[in-house]
Every structure is written in C-alpha cells, then in structure tokens.
Amino acid sequence: MDLWKATPHKRWNPLEREWILVSPHRTQRPWQGQIETPQQPPESVYDPECYLCPGNSRAQGQANPAYEHTFVFDNDYAALKPDIEKRVINQNDLLLAETERGICRVICFTPEHHLTISRMRPEAIRREARCRRPGLVISRECCTRLGGYHGL
Ligand SMILES: [Zn+2]
C-alpha cells in the first residue's frame, strides 16, 4: 500500500508557505449521493426554444440570422467587457485585484442544433476552424454553452 495514498499527512505548500492537511483515506467514504444518467444529444436539427439556432431570438432579444455555416457573435453574457477602466485594488497585500478588459465571442460551429463537433463531417470542421483567429478568447461560459450542441 502506498503510504501517501492511504495515510493522513501534511504537505508543504511553497506558494502559501504553509502546511496543508491531506487525508486521502477519506475518499474511501461511502457515497450515497445522486447519480445522474448521461444526457443524450437531441435528435432534432432545429429547436424553436434554442438561443443559438438560426432565426431564433437570443436571451436578450437579438435575432440570430438564418445562418448556414458558422455564426459568430459577441457573447450576450460575456465574462469580460471591452470598455472597463484600468483599476487596481491592494488592501494591505491581502486583497489584490485588477480590472481586466476583453471581448468574448460565441462561435456556433453549425446551424444544426443536434450536432457536436465529434458528429460533424471533416470538411465542415475545417471550414469552422478557419473562423478562429489568433487572440480570440472563448470564455469558459461560451464553451459551456457550446459544449452540448452547435459545435464543441
Ligand atoms: Zn439550437
């Protein structure tokens, strides 16, 4: 048995310069929580309730065009904003923060609601890859939204 995988111990965190308690044996506790069934991808090509489908309205009311390939737009709920003033906060070196500017774009790789990138044809994936540009940031939120359908 590996001592470090089964025995309580402490480890030195050089970044925080402190000892951290590690109790690996606690992962052996029984789990009685909820177990989710895997989500199945939708079968329909179009969903009239989807914010990303062609021709539909998004959450804030903008209408998506009737796109046939890739559709890229500014994220309606972007994690970053382009017009934020540069500010720094330092409260006794305990609270350090800086404002951050940026643009978050949503890329719909396909107009077909049910597709994920793994189900797209190679030529369609190549076409979609051309819309990516250096410096383009896709926020985690965007990836989450795209994670299910319309691409990733
Ligand atoms: Zn859709």
Domain residues of the chain, as ranges?
Answer: 71-148
Give CA–CA dist 22/17, Å, rounded. Answer: 16
User: Which residues 6+ apart lie within 8 Å of 28 measured at CB?
Assistant: none
Could you confirm whether domain 71-148 is CATH 3.30.428.10? yes
Gap from CA of 35 to ligand 1 centroid (Å): 27
pLDDT in tens, 32-77: 888 888 877 778 999 999 999 999 999 899 999 999 988 888 888 8
How many residues would you count in the chain? 152
- The per-residue pLDDT for 55 is 96
Gap from CA of 31 to ligand 1 centroid (Å): 36
- The per-residue pLDDT for 26 is 86
Gap from CA of 14 to ligand 1 centroid (Å): 47
Gap from CA of 45 to ligand 1 centroid (Å): 8
Gap from CA of 76 to ligand 1 centroid (Å): 16
In this structure, are residues 138 and 103 in contact, taking their beta carbons and an 8 Å threshold? Answer: no
Q: Give me the residues near ligand 1 (ion), CB cutoff below 5 Å.
A: 47, 50, 52-53, 113
pTM: 0.60
Gap from CA of 145 to ligand 1 centroid (Å): 10
pLDDT in tens, 122-138: 887 777 666 655 555 44
Q: Which residues pair with 73 in a beta bridge?
A: 106
Gap from CA of 132 to ligand 1 centroid (Å): 20
Gap from CA of 34 to ligand 1 centroid (Å): 29
Decide: helix, strand or coil at residue 127: helix
Gap from CA of 13 to ligand 1 centroid (Å): 45
